[in-house]
Structures are given as structure tokens and as C-alpha cells.
Amino acid sequence: MDLVEGHLAREVPENVPVWDIDPYDPAILSDPTDYYAELRRLGPFVYIPKYAMLACGRFEVTKTVFSDWERFVSSRGVGLQDFSLETPWRPHSIILEVDPPDHTKTRTVMSRAMSPRAVNNLKEAFQTAADSLIDQLLEQGPFEAVEDLAETYPTTVFPEAVGLHKSDRRRLVDYGAMVFNALGPDNALRQQAMAKGPDIVPWITEQCERKNLRTDGIGASIYAAADNGDITEAEAGMLVRSLLSAGVDTTVSGIGSALWCLATHPEEFEKLKEDPSLARPAFEETLRYTSPVHSFCRTANLDTEVAGISIAEGTKILCVLAAANLDEDHWPNADRFDIERRPVGHLALGTGIHGCVGQNIARAELEAVLSAIARKVETITLTGDAIWRPNNAIHALDRMPLSFTAKS
């Protein structure tokens, strides 16, 4: 049978438009809005011949495929490769790339380790770090928002919360770039990210060992589940690896995109300054509007049907979460960034049994940063072009020159 990018090349289902596009073209990844709109316009699914896959971007159908874990599995990989046919680049994630019943046990351990109560204990340290970083940037003058704020903040507070003895900003960010680019095709983005593996992967693996973690962090609470017999010691190490895979580039992107939204929508920033308690809804709207994780795949595990379209076993389906979050049929004035929208049910954190297990931490980090800005900053000005950093699964900025002025 024909393999394309490591998965079965199934035939075009009846009534599905064939769309000759490369969604992983760096130009599209950097400026995806028209691609999202066309994807939604063409139908519930399109067939993309270059990758022999289906793609969806309308809200309802994307939500259905993404959350129906019995028909559209994660255990065959959430990128283009089918793990039932090819060996993944690293041992598969035991929480992301797995289905029930195996998923249930690891998910429970991770949910507990990042429960609302566990995260509440982190909030004070998150706020102190955010306040002092914003104070420092106000003193510094114009700054590079990706490096000096979006990357610096999570790579300071998150490794500390996990319990790493030392952070390494470059390696943590580049490991995220590997993990998320790996979900795409074997293009230049993936190859360039993977080339850094020999320097990064051994370091990451070492940080996941029990002896390299403080005894009071999230990592330690995962190892406590091994002491209880809920999981093995090796599984605990794998779950710490999941924290370091999913917990950095996602929040880096979230902070960068939130700053970009506020800098380009001053009237929304005015609302936030007037009422700093809008920090949280402002983050939710940033998630809806920019979708840090733009797409993940699922694999049909049987012959089935969605929205009247027949889908053959083994079909890879690109679920374009970012397109669903901008669907006019679900979100009135979808192209408007409105921090008072309260976009309940957006798909930026996924949905269903695989919905982001770290979302309490992500929200705590963003609330700390946005509330510090709301209290301390008078104006946010773009002093040059915002440049995006194409990635096969993440929508994030590469560079953004900003200047803040202080409230008097």
C-alpha cells in the first residue's frame, strides 16, 4: 500500500473537494487567515493531495473529529505519521499519543498534579515574577517582546514549578519546536528543528529523572504517583517529559500573541487597564483569535462517516483548530478581537478527553502577566514589524519590537 508522510494514502472520498494547497508552506503558516477561510468555505472536509489527507476547519465538524476518541484515535499519532505503520522519532507520549484505557491512568495522574488546588499554590510566585519582569522592562525601554518577555517568562516560572534545578531557555524552547514541528511533514522546518536533537534530547531526558527534580514541584507529585503504585517509575519520567514538551512553546506563543493582540487593538488594551480582572477573558479571546496550536491530526480507526462524508480506516485528518476558532457560523464577528467576548468552548486547548491537561497552569501564567501589564503599563507600541515563526503545529511570533510606557 502507498505511504505518504508515513500514513496510508486513501482515495478521495466522494463529494470531497480536492484542494491543491500546502498548509505547511512557511508563507501560509506565517499568514494563515485566508487559508483558514478557504478551508471552511470549501466544505466540511477537503482532500489535500500533497499529503494524501483530509482536513477540516468548520467549528462543528472539527470539534466532532477532534473529540471522538473511539473513531478518531490519537494512538496512531497526532501528526502526519501513522504510528501503527512507522516508528515515531521518540518513544510515544503516554498521555498525548494514546487512547483509553491506557490514557485514563496517565491523564488522572497529570490532572491531579496540575489540579486547581496545586496551581493555586503557584499563583503568588507567578505574580511576583510577572510584576518584577514588567517593572524591569519598563525601566529598560524598548525591548524584544518574544525573547525578553514571551520566552523569558515561561522559561523562568515553569521549570521552577516543575522542580528543575536549572532552566535552560534555549533548550526548552527548541525542544518544543522539535516536538511540534515533528507533527508535520518531513519538510525543512521539521528537519531544521530535528537537527538540534543531539544537543537537546539527552538534556531533556536527564531533567526528567527523579534525582534531578526538587521534592516540592509538579515533577515530584508525578513521581509520588509512582510511589503509590499508580504508575511505574519509568512512566513518571515520561510524564515529566510531557510537561517539558507541551508546557513551554505553547505558553510562549500565548504570551507573544496576547501582546500582539493588545498592541494592535489599543481600544481593547484600554478596557483591560480600566478593569485588570479582564486579564483572564483577554487570554481566552487571545486563544480563540490566535490559536497557539493551529492544528493536530487524528487517524480514523475504522471505516466511518462524518457530515455525510465516508472516511476510510487509516485516513489522517488534519483538524485545523485555528480555523474552527474563526468560524463565522459559530462566532459572530469572528474576525474581531474583543476581550469581553468570553469565548466559551473555543478549541484552542482542544476538547474532550485530550483537552489540555495543563490549562490551569497556562491560565495562571497568562493572568499573572496580563494583570501586571494592566496595572503598570500605560501604552504598548509596536516599534517595527511583528514577524511570525513558522512551525508545523504552533502559530507563534519570532520577533516583535515593543515599547511600553509606564502608568504615572
Binding site for ligand OVM (CB under 6 A): 93, 95-96, 179-180, 242, 245-246
Which residue's CB is nearer to ligand OVM, number 150 or number 377?
150
If the CB atoms of residues 95 and 402 are measured against ligand OVM, the closer one turns out to be: 95
Q: Which C-beta is closer to ligand OVM: that of 167 or that of 295?
A: 295
Q: Indicate the residue among 290 and 371 with the shorter CB distance to ligand OVM.
A: 290
Taking the complex as a whole, the smallest distance from the CB of residue 198 to ligand OVM amounts, in Å, to 19
The C-alpha atoms of residue 329 and residue 266 are separated, in whole angstroms, by 27
Nearest approach, Cβ of 93 to ligand OVM (angstroms)? 3
Q: Which is nearer to ligand OVM, 245 or 251 (CB)?
A: 245
Nearest to 154 by CA among 285, 276, 286, 244: 244
Q: 132: how many CB neighbours lie within 10 A of its CB? A: 12
Beta carbon nearer to ligand OVM, 96 or 129:
96
Q: How far is the CB of 182 from ligand OVM (least distance, A)?
A: 8
Nearer to ligand OVM, 55 or 178 (CB): 178
Contact 354, 361 (CB under 8 A): no
CA atoms within 13 A on the CB side of 48: 23
Contact by Cβ (8 Å): 226, 126: no
C-alpha–C-alpha distance, residues 245 and 174, integer Å: 10
Which of 245/351 has CB closer to ligand OVM?
245
Task: In angstroms, give the least distance from the CB of 81 to ligand OVM.
Answer: 12
Give, in degrees to the nearest 5, the angle at Cα 301 between 298 and 306.
70
CB-based burial label for 18 (10 Å; 0-12, 13-18, 19+): exposed
What is the closest distance, in whole angstroms, from the C-beta atom of residue 200 to ligand OVM in the complex?
14
CA 217 – CA 224 distance, rounded (Å): 11
Torsion angle, alpha carbons of 323, 59, 180, 83, to 10 = -130
Question: Please, are residues 309 and 319 in contact by the beta-carbon 8 Å criterion?
Answer: no
Residue 82 CB, nearest distance to ligand OVM (Å)? 16
Write down the least CB distance from residue 157 to ligand OVM, Å: 19
Closest of 307, 356, 347, 319 to residue 56, by C-alpha: 319
Cα distance between residue 368 and residue 74, in whole Å:
33
Kindly state the smallest distance separating residue 325's Cβ from ligand OVM, in Å: 17
Q: Which amino acid is located at 46 in the chain?
A: V
Of 384, 362, 364, the closest CA to residue 372 belongs to 364
